[in-house]
């Protein structure tokens, strides 16, 4: 499990559980400032003939969460799907199907984060061009997140925002399974794992569901 640049053999030897563990270990190194030293240009050369990532991460476009950095991974290690609010649509599902069925990734991680601007926008029912329909995909998480009587259900209530972000990750996983027969079958047969996680923008720590 010490391979720095993934090869067809190292990828084949990684199980779905291993893939999640590698990401957990990477985030632990990141938080503890013990990142692996990598020659990124050497990795460019080593992956020029092919790529063998062990995981795919669906995360938000938020600039504070560069996925390879916070998981301490290098070039060729993970596929990245980045979209505001870490949601899925047909194009993203197709990308994930490619990543797992054709390119051999062993895990999908849906990575939400605290203080998410897209979630705040959905909580506030923000409307702006194409953003309106995108935020609509997060609205089910808003509607399904309970609050105490009189408690604010908008971006001014950061605890509510973060609970909605949690629920949004959960619903995105459900959407992946229900909207992609390919990925759902791979999950059911144990070929891949599909898990949720949350990144804390204050600490850099990732907590897996």
Residue 124's CATH number: 3.40.1050.10
Q: Are 96 and 193 in contact (CB under 8 A)?
A: no
- Judge residue 110's burial from the number of C-beta atoms within 10 Å of its C-beta, 0-12 exposed, 13-18 middle, 19 or more buried: buried
Residues of the domain holding 107: 8-208
pTM of the model: 0.96
In a domain, 3, yes or no: no
Angle at which helix 158-179 crosses helix 90-97, to 10 degrees, equals 60
Q: Give Cβ neighbours of residue 13 (< 8 Å, ≥ 6 apart).
A: none
On the question of pLDDT at 79 being above 90, the answer is: yes
Q: pLDDT grade, residue 3 (50/70/90)? A: low
- DSSP lists the bridge partners of residue 207 as 198
In a domain, 156, yes or no: yes
In a domain, 1, yes or no: no
Which pLDDT tens digit goes with each residue over 106-134?
A: 999 999 999 999 999 999 999 999 999 99
Q: What's the CA gap between 17 and 153, in Å, rounded?
A: 37
Joined tokens for residue 22: 């590698």
On the question of pLDDT at 143 being above 80, the answer is: yes
Q: Give Cβ neighbours of residue 4 (< 8 Å, ≥ 6 apart).
A: 36, 38, 43, 74
On the question of pLDDT at 2 being above 50, the answer is: no
């Amino acid at each position: 499990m010490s391979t720095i640049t993934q090869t067809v053999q190292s990828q084949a030897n990684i199980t779905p559980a291993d893939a999640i563990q590698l990401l957990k270990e990477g985030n632990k190194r990141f938080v503890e400032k013990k990142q692996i030293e990598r020659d990124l240009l050497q990795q460019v050369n080593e992956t020029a003939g092919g790529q063998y990532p062990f995981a795919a991460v669906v995360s938000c476009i938020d600039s504070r969460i560069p996925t390879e950095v916070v998981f301490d991974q290098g070039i060729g290690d993970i596929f990245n799907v980045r979209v505001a609010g870490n949601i899925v649509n047909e194009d993203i599902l197709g990308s994930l199907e490619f990543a797992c069925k054709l390119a051999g990734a062993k895990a999908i991680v849906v990575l939400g984060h605290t203080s998410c601007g897209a979630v705040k926008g959905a909580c506030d029912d923000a409307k702006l061009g194409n953003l309106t329909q995108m935020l609509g995909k997060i609205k089910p998480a808003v509607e399904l997140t309970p609050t105490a009587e009189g408690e604010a259900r908008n971006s001014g209530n950061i605890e509510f925002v973060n609970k909605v972000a949690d629920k949004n990750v959960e619903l995105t996983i459900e959407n992946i399974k229900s909207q992609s027969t390919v990925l759902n079958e791979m999950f059911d047969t144990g070929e891949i794992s599909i898990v949720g996680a949350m990144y804390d923008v204050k600490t850099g720590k990732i907590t897996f569901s």
